[in-house]
Amino acid sequence: MTERALTIGQLATRTGSNVQIIRYYEQTGLMPEPARTDGNQRRYGKDHVRRLAFIRNARELGFGIEAIETLLDLADNPDRSCQEVIAIAEDNLAGVRSRIGRLRALERELKRLIASCSGGRIRDCRIIEALSDPRR
Same domain, yes or no: 74 and 89? no
Q: Tell me the per-residue pLDDT of 71-119, one tens digit each, with 9 for 90 and over.
A: 999 999 999 999 999 999 999 999 999 999 999 999 999 999 999 988 8
Residue 6, domain extent: 1-80
8 Å CB contact between 48 and 11: yes
Q: Tell me the per-residue pLDDT of 52-81, one tens digit each, with 9 for 90 and over.
A: 999 999 999 999 999 999 999 999 999 999
Same domain, yes or no: 14 and 73? yes
The domain that holds 18 is classified in CATH as 1.10.1660.10
Same domain, yes or no: 72 and 88? no
What is the percentage of the chain residues whose pLDDT exceeds 90?
79
**Alpha carbon separation from 102 to 20, 91, 126 (Å, rounded):** 31, 17, 22
Same domain, yes or no: 42 and 67? yes
Same domain, yes or no: 92 and 74? no
Same domain, yes or no: 48 and 99? no
